[in-house]
């Protein structure tokens, strides 16, 4: 036995020496680009923010299914941190998507601490916590919508994460030790980072928040091997660049918004990155910024290697509503009207779900997924633009009776400015070809303030007005048949969907800010299971398996924009307490 140990040690030493000669080889649990490209094949893992580059948030795991889900129970929980306040925020919240690799889970709290948890053996054991010491005052004062961090990425033997104060960080997966960090966004400019990084081909892609602070938005790529920035594509064109003509008033583009605060998707066959762009600034005074305001409220397709924009599709030109288009683009291949089509799907804050040809950006279909849309009477079936859109007019009014403007300074519109769907991610079942949207069924009231030449002040809100809530807001999980573009079902919920969805072969998982985690039948949207966590949920569920057993995991801790800015529309949620918990369920 002893000699055996010695033999093994010698073999290990020999292997190490050989590895040294050949250069450091990838270990079995190192994250390579090949593994990320094939993340769907690692059935028990959740390797990417949206599970796969196509952002389907679909897991094939099926132990927890239509028949067994009623037996789903809490397996273990873990208290996390990051509830403290900072800046204008009284507390942090949890919006992160857990990442799981071979039974090891990585989650974040709102201030960007990263936790590695051993999720094997039916229990959760905290292995390390990396606290990035985020500057609470600096970042919290320019975080429009909460102290949020939506999760990490894995690359090589490292964990890659963002902080609210604008850093991109790499830490050792084994120990949490910080290897390097770089400042990628600048809170002095009103920039913050809440999105999880997307790692593709040794690049970390960063999106930025700050559309309410007069930033000029961008998407940036950092080479993880050199820690150098490879490209930074601004979402507001510079003077003379294509699209700059859509900012007709001199100087408005410089503070034109166009944030990019939701993690995008990637198509390896065309080497294209898909990323959504947020609202123009100031949000509600569109007369201040005549023109279509490209590339705000648009889906962008970009070349991964250069950041060059291949095409764009703008949803709400010259937006007077705060209808960001930051939503993830979900990449699906389906027959539409008898023709196999490669689509990019996005559920916009303006209440419409869109499908475009992802090679060209050509409009395929658009469907309202909320119960009530008042700002437009519909989309042009050829172009996908709102039917009232008049490209000859510098300022759009759409349905003028409900549109905030200098002529209509107090306007009630539907969807409200949180949108029909906000950042929480959709999920797609490729077998049923159903796309599930976490929906906010809403209207709210906007009061417009005319922007003056001195209205812009660094690090201060630059919104041209503000919302108020005089209407109850509810929610739904809405399913769209992707082959037809028609709504196939709607499961209504008392409160808005603020956490995002997960699809499995039989089920759709959702949540409520009042504490419930929910499971629906994937075909009928009949509710099959519910568990009340006792804390507000505004984070997406994921599933993974280890030791042959399937688990469901979700972060619980109400934060974000809702409980500060929109709580009046859901008064019962005022009683929800601050918390920071990880829940893991199993049969």
Partner 1 sequence: MYVKLITAFSAVTVVAAVSLHGPVFAHDAPLQGQAAQGKRVFQQANCIGCHKWHGGGGGGYGGDALSLRATQLDRDQIIETVLCGRPGTGMPYFRRGIYDGGEHQCYGLGRQELGKDIPVEAGTFLRPNEVAAVTDYVLAEIKGKGEPTYAECSAFFGDNARVCNVYKTGQPASDAAQPSKQGS
Residue 424 interacts with partner 1 (CB under 8 A): yes or no: no
Cβ proximity to partner 1: between 178 and 230 the closer is: 230
Q: Stretches 42-50, 139-147, 272-280, 340-348: which one binds partner 1 (CB under 8 A)?
A: 139-147
Q: Stretches 134-142, 172-180, 419-427, 477-485: which one binds partner 1 (CB under 8 A)?
A: 134-142
Cβ proximity to partner 1: between 187 and 264 the closer is: 187
Cβ proximity to partner 1: between 232 and 549 the closer is: 232
Could you please report the per-residue DSSP string of 361-376? --EEEEEE-SS---S-
Cβ proximity to partner 1: between 115 and 456 the closer is: 456
Return the ∠ at Cα 138 (arms to 133 and 140), rounded to 5°. Answer: 85
CB 129 within 8 A of CB 120: no
Q: Stretches 57-65, 123-131, 289-297, 450-458: which one binds partner 1 (CB under 8 A)?
A: 450-458
Residue 449 interacts with partner 1 (CB under 8 A): yes or no: yes
Residue 439 interacts with partner 1 (CB under 8 A): yes or no: no
Query: Smallest distance from the beta carbon of 472 to partner 1, in angstroms?
Result: 13
Residue 272 interacts with partner 1 (CB under 8 A): yes or no: no
Residues 190, 260, 296, 327: is their CA dihedral positive or negative? negative
Token pair 């209205």 is found at 455
Residues 287, 288, 291, 297: is their CA dihedral positive or negative? negative
The edge-to-edge listing of strands for the beta sheet with 542-546 is 73-79, 581-586, 549-556, 542-546
Residue 76 interacts with partner 1 (CB under 8 A): yes or no: no
Spell out, one character per residue from 558 to 577, where the chain touches partner 1: x when CB under 8 A holds, - when not.
---x--xx------------
Spell out, one character per residue from 150 to 179, where the chain touches partner 1: x when CB under 8 A holds, - when not.
---------------x--------------
Residue 410 interacts with partner 1 (CB under 8 A): yes or no: no
Residue 135 interacts with partner 1 (CB under 8 A): yes or no: yes
Q: Which of residues 182-211 bind partner 1 (CB under 8 A)?
A: 186-190
d(CA 442, CA 455): 29
Residue 8 interacts with partner 1 (CB under 8 A): yes or no: no
d(CA 383, CA 571): 40
Phi, psi dihedral angles at 527 (to 5 degrees): -75, 130
322 is known as an active-site residue = yes
Q: Stretches 45-53, 401-409, 466-474, 517-525: which one binds partner 1 (CB under 8 A)?
A: 466-474
Cβ proximity to partner 1: between 218 and 529 the closer is: 218
d(CA 515, CA 386): 37
Q: Which of 88, 400, 401, 410 binds partner 1 (CB under 8 A)?
A: 88
Query: Smallest distance from the beta carbon of 249 to partner 1, in angstroms?
Result: 14
Phi, psi dihedral angles at 315 (to 5 degrees): -90, -45
Residues 191, 240, 397, 389: is their CA dihedral positive or negative? negative
Phi, psi dihedral angles at 366 (to 5 degrees): -145, 135
Tokens of 398: 């759409």
Query: Smallest distance from the beta carbon of 399 to partner 1, in angstroms?
Result: 23
Query: Smallest distance from the beta carbon of 255 to partner 1, in angstroms?
Result: 6
**Cβ burial, residue 31 (10 Å; 0-12/13-18/19+):** buried
Query: Smallest distance from the beta carbon of 580 to partner 1, in angstroms?
Result: 18
Nearest residue to 107 via CA among 127, 135, 137: 127
Q: Which of 131, 157, 229, 412 binds partner 1 (CB under 8 A)?
A: 229
Nearest residue to 102 via CA among 36, 33, 172, 28: 28
Beta strands, E only, 289-443: 298-303, 309-314, 330-336, 339-347, 352-357, 363-368, 410-413, 427-429, 434-441
Query: Smallest distance from the beta carbon of 268 to partner 1, in angstroms?
Result: 23
CB 208 within 8 A of CB 275: no
Size of the site for partner 1 (CB under 8 A): 53
Cβ proximity to partner 1: between 215 and 576 the closer is: 215
Q: Which of 467, 499, 557, 579 binds partner 1 (CB under 8 A)?
A: 467
Cβ proximity to partner 1: between 382 and 454 the closer is: 454
Nearest residue to 52 via CA among 332, 257, 315: 332
Q: Which of 89, 274, 311, 321 binds partner 1 (CB under 8 A)?
A: 89
Q: Stretches 382-390, 455-463, 485-493, 531-539: which one binds partner 1 (CB under 8 A)?
A: 455-463
Q: Give the CA distances from residue 364 to residues 268, 278, 323, 484, 542, in Å, rounded to whole numbers and listed in that order.
A: 22, 22, 21, 10, 30
**Cβ burial, residue 157 (10 Å; 0-12/13-18/19+):** middle
Could you please report the per-residue DSSP string of 277-305? B--BSSSS-GGGS-S--TTTTEEEEEETT
Q: Which of 35, 57, 167, 216 binds partner 1 (CB under 8 A)?
A: 216
| Catalytic pick among 148, 297, 319, 322 | 322
Query: Smallest distance from the beta carbon of 209 to partner 1, in angstroms?
Result: 13
Residue 280 interacts with partner 1 (CB under 8 A): yes or no: no
Residue 246 interacts with partner 1 (CB under 8 A): yes or no: no
Q: Give the CA distances from residue 428 to residues 48, 126, 335, 484, 504, in Å, rounded to whole numbers and listed in that order.
A: 15, 32, 15, 15, 9
Catalytic residue positions?
322
Residues forming the site for partner 1 (CB under 8 A): 85, 87-90, 135, 137-138, 141, 144-145, 165, 186-190, 212, 214-216, 229-234, 236-239, 241, 253-255, 306-308, 449, 456-461, 463, 465-468, 561, 564-565
């Amino acid at each position: 036995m002893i000699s055996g140990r010695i033999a093994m040690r010698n073999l290990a030493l020999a292997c190490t020496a050989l590895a040294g000669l050949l250069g450091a080889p990838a270990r079995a649990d190192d994250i390579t680009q090949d593994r990320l490209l094939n993340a769907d094949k690692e059935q028990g893992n959740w390797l990417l923010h949206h599970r796969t580059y196509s952002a389907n948030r679909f897991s094939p795991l099926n132990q927890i299914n239509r028949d067994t889900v009623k037996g789903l129970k809490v397996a273990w929980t873990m208290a996390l941190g990051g509830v403290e306040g900072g800046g204008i925020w009284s507390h942090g919240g949890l919006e992160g998507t857990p990442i799981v690799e071979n039974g090891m889970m990585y989650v974040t709290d709102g201030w960007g601490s990263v936790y590695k948890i051993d999720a094997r053996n039916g229990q959760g054991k905290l292995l390390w916590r990396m606290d990035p010491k985020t500057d609470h005052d600096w970042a919290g004062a320019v975080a429009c919508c909460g102290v949020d961090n939506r999760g990490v990425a894995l690359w090589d033997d490292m964990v890659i994460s963002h902080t609210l104060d604008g850093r991109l960080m790499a830490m050792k997966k084994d120990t949490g030790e910080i290897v390097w960090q770089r400042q990628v966004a600048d809170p002095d400019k009103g920039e913050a980072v809440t999105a999880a990084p997307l790692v593709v081909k040794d690049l970390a892609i960063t999106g930025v928040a700050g559309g309410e602070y007069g930033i000029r938005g961008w998407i940036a790529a950092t080479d993880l091997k050199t820690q150098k920035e490879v490209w930074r594509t601004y979402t507001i064109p510079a003077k003379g660049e294509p699209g700059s003509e859509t900012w007709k008033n001199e100087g408005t583009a410089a503070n034109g918004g166009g944030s990019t605060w939701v993690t995008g998707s990637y198509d390896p066959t065309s080497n294209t990155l898909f990323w959504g762009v947020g609202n123009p600034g100031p949000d509600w005074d569109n007369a201040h910024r005549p023109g279509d305001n490209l590339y705000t409220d648009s889906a962008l397709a970009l070349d991964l290697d250069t950041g060059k924009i291949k095409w764009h599709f703008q949803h709400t030109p010259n937006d007077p509503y705060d209808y960001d288009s930051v939503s993830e683009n979900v990449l699906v291949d389906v027959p539409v009207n008898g023709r196999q089509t490669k689509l990019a799907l996005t559920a916009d804050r303006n209440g419409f779900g869109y499908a475009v040809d992802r090679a060209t950006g050509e409009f395929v279909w658009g469907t309202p997924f909320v119960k009530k849309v008042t700002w437009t009477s519909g989309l042009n079936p050829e172009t996908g633009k709102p039917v009232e859109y008049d490209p000859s007019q510098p300022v759009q009014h759409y349905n003028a009776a409900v549109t905030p403007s200098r002529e209509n300074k107090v306007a009630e519109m539907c969807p409200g400015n949180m949108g029909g769907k906000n950042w929480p991610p959709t999920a797609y079942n490729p077998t049923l070809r159903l796309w599930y949207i976490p929906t906010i069924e809403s209207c709210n009231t906007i009061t417009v303030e005319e922007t003056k030449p001195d209205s812009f002040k660094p690090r201060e809100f630059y919104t041209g007005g503000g919302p108020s809530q005089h209407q109850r807001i509810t929610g739904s999980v809405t399913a769209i048949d992707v082959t037809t573009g028609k709504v196939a079902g709607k499961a209504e919920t008392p409160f808005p969907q603020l956490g995002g969805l997960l699809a499995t072969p039989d089920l759709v998982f959702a949540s409520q800010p009042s504490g419930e985690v929910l499971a629906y039948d994937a075909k009928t949207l009949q509710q099959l299971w519910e568990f009340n966590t006792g804390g507000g949920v505004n984070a997406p569920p994921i599933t993974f398996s280890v030791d042959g057993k399937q688990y469901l995991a979700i972060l619980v801790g109400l934060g974000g924009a809702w409980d500060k800015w929109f709580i009046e529309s859901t008064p019962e949620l005022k009683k929800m307490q601050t918390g920071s918990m990880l829940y893991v369920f199993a049969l």
